[in-house]
Structure 1
Amino acid sequence: MRSTQRLSCAVAAIALAFGGLALTTGSAHAATACSQSHLPLPDAACQPGAYNPDVTQSTIRSTICVPGWTKTVRPPVSYTTPLKIKQIGQYGYTDTTTADYEEDHLIPLELGGAPKDPKNLWPEPRYGKQPAASKDSVENKLKVAVCNGTVKLDAARSAIATDWTTALSKVGIG
């Protein structure tokens, strides 16, 4: 193994260890396998979603509806990158380039999704028919609707957790 490869493996192993994960036989291995058959959605058995207990309908004015609030709860890349590496392995993606995936919150921080819960984070591809960026506008529209009172928080969360591609129509906004 060349010294640059050894260095890359060592850096990956340190990043994984920092995130509480392990590197074995050259790649991140997981206890469970997740299916790609649900794309552009995550496998619900692996990522069913999780809520931040601090965000409820009665706290939205002091949490998600405050500009910049998500920055206060967003996990650092030192946490999300090792998790992304592990989950790329769980999903069996042949493309293992981390830049090709967004470690995305199924229930977005904008709707009070759990910031660090692996049940709410998954490696969403940045490519394909409905890449990761497509979900961002749905998240923003749902947050606006929740904050202006046209959609209840639980309805928005349920709709996006079930299928973000149909979430807006499920809650009655276009």
Structure 2
Amino acid sequence: MDYIEDFTPHAEAIAELFAATFTASEGAEEGALIGALARRLIAETPAEDLRVVTAWEDGALLGGIFFTRLTYAGDPRKVFMMAPVAVATARQGQRIGQRLIMHGLDLPRQEGVDIAVTYGDPGFYARVGFKPVSEADLHAPQPLQQPQGWIAQSLTDAPLTPLSGSVRCVAAFDDPALW
């Protein structure tokens, strides 16, 4: 499996992967929502606020992850949100997602990012080091429909401690329907 961080030549294939994966698992409406989110993230997010990591095998796109900046007013730590994450439906259950996430987290870690946060299944993401956090300790950019899915991990040797101040996400994520 090869990992590619230069996503620009593959932007539409990446968006289609997210749309198809979420359609298969969550239905057509969610697939359309996440496909549109992927397109917006790629087209509209400033380069300094976006990282995309994809996994490929024999020229086929197997999976992808978006990392986008979260800014906490009054807190100097660098925080990136890992979302959405997708693995091609036919390749799920083969640990591709876990390997992609572990590889993907190395990118922000090497760039000096302090904390990675995501919003998803705590059982799955615990396998790659994420732990539950309360919204009081780590505010979400929008009200959470499933607060138990708000999870984070320190990417440094420092313990995960509360973040202070209001939070701002990238424009593509500033939509209550995504939360």
TM-score (norm 1): 0.27
Structure having the higher helix fraction is 1
Q: Which has the larger Rg?
A: 1
Higher relative contact order (CA 8 A, sep 6+): 1
Structure having the higher strand fraction is 2
